[in-house]
Amino acid sequence: MLHLNLRRRFLIITIFLLSSLGMSCQVIAQNKPPLRVGFSMALTGPLAANGKAALLSMEIWREDTNKKGGVIGRQVEFVYYDDQSNPSLVPGLYTKLLDSDKVDVVVSPYGTNLISPAMPLIMQRNLVFLTLFGVDVNAKFNYPGYFQMMPNGKNPTVGISSGFFDAAMTAKEKPKTVAFIGGDAEFQAVTIEGAREVAKKYNLKVVYDKSYPPNTTDFTPVLRAIQATNPDIIYVASYPGETPGLVRAANEIGLKATVFGGTMIGCGFASVKKQLGPLLNGLLCFELYVPEKTVKFEGIESFLKIYQSRAEKEGVDALGFYLPPYAYAQMQILGQAIEKVGSIDNKKLIDYIHNTKFTTVVGDVKFATNGEWEVGRPLYVQYKGIKGNDIEQFRKPGPAVIISPAELKSGDLITSYQEAKNK
């Protein structure tokens, strides 16, 4: 009996000591300084709608991560400033983040024109730099610490449009001619430059290739001029403010082509979907996420459920299909890298990110040597069967059928554009 009592006492003491040790570890973890992530974001100005959506997505990641204990035992804290969509403010803001705020790591602002001005400072300090939606920014810097969150492949100027032509060339009557049109701005110019290369690969004859001024509001004359050349394919590169006007003009003049669409930024936004409704039918357009059954990225549906539940209150894009999953995935990659490296040593982080395939809410991501995605996969979808302007229909499979890439294909291309509008 005495022997049994001794064993019980020993067990009780052991449990007590282990519990105390666990509590001590929790206290130590709680006492660690926060992991401070610095960045600027467009919260006002022309890029604010996307900047606010990106910030909400990043905050969702931060909250998720902190509930699980943080990163390397440290709670994550954001330090950020409004860059007002103004590239000239970016260098000063990042200098402040690094020198005054003493943040541990930085990530980029949103968009090509805001990322580029930060690059010299980032390079000077040899920092890891995960960036959000820049088109081929690193082509002029060749910086090994640059990593881009946009799925355009190793050669982004070509990769962003190649899926459109891959899809268009599946038409029963093989297209032979192409017309190019886009705004007179850097993004559109770079995108069409790459599209020309892809068209050349398919031996397409260019019958129209012009740009329109950025302040254009009436696109009817532009599309009439294109129609006069009778192209099989009409490829458009447009900003969100231009896209609705182009689609409306196409419907007004009864535009005829085998395939009409392109890298028409804005089609992925809830506000544009709601505004255009059935006018989208027949278009072959660039998207970054649609809820088709072939898209089964780990965690994407649960992320969007949380995002959408907060979107209206935050005044951001109601669907969150375009930018938000990539902003969340950007932070997933940074967090996973710091956790695995076990520190914020920027050189080690750069090496680790280069050599690792990451699982994220936008699928597996592996970076090429230039910091772009090793394998690109921008989606090109054809809109079909859209009725009315109710945004709820876009939350389900069907209205945006994936035509390219082949591994995510959920339906076949319907041609011509006029016939596809009525399907």
pLDDT in tens, 236-269: 999 888 999 999 999 999 999 999 999 999 999 9
101 token code pair: 């705020």
Average pLDDT, the chain: 93
Q: Could you tell me the pTM of the whole model?
A: 0.89
In CATH terms, the superfamily for domain 156-295+378-421 is: Response regulator (3.40.50.2300)
Rounded to an integer, what distance in angstroms lies between the CA atom of residue 40 and that of residue 38?
7
Contact 111, 47 (CB under 8 A): yes
* Confidence at residue 7, expressed as pLDDT on a 0 to 100 scale: 53
Q: Using omega within 30 degrees of 0 as the cis cutoff, is the peptide bond preceding 416 cis?
A: yes
* Confidence at residue 17, expressed as pLDDT on a 0 to 100 scale: 47
Please give the backbone phi and psi of residue 206, each rounded to the nearest 5 degrees, phi first: -85, 120
* Confidence at residue 26, expressed as pLDDT on a 0 to 100 scale: 42
Rounded to an integer, what distance in angstroms lies between the CA atom of residue 53 and that of residue 311?
8
* Confidence at residue 8, expressed as pLDDT on a 0 to 100 scale: 57
For the segment 184-207, what is each residue's pLDDT rounded down to a tens digit?
A: 988 899 899 999 999 999 999 999
Contact 262, 375 (CB under 8 A): no
Domain locations along the chain: 35-154+297-366, 156-295+378-421
Dihedral angle of Cα 238, 389, 260, 151, to the nearest 10 degrees: 60
Choices 2.60.40.420, 2.20.25.10, 2.120.10.30, 3.40.50.2300: CATH for 35-154+297-366: 3.40.50.2300
Handedness of CA 363, 369, 370, 374 (dihedral sign): negative
Strand ranges of the sheet holding 233-238, from the earlier edge strand across to the other edge: 205-212, 177-183, 233-238, 259-264, 284-287, 379-383, 400-404
* Confidence at residue 5, expressed as pLDDT on a 0 to 100 scale: 52
Handedness of CA 324, 299, 294, 353 (dihedral sign): positive
Q: What is the DSSP letter of 414?
A: P
Bridge partners of 36, per DSSP, are 77
Rounded to an integer, what distance in angstroms lies between the CA atom of residue 74 and that of residue 33?
6
Q: What is the DSSP letter of 128?
A: -
* Confidence at residue 31, expressed as pLDDT on a 0 to 100 scale: 78
* pLDDT < 50: residue spans in the chain: 1-2, 4, 11, 13, 15, 17-18, 20-29
Q: Do domains 35-154+297-366 and 156-295+378-421 have the same CATH topology?
A: yes
Helices (H), 150-219: 156-168, 186-201
241 token code pair: 């403010």
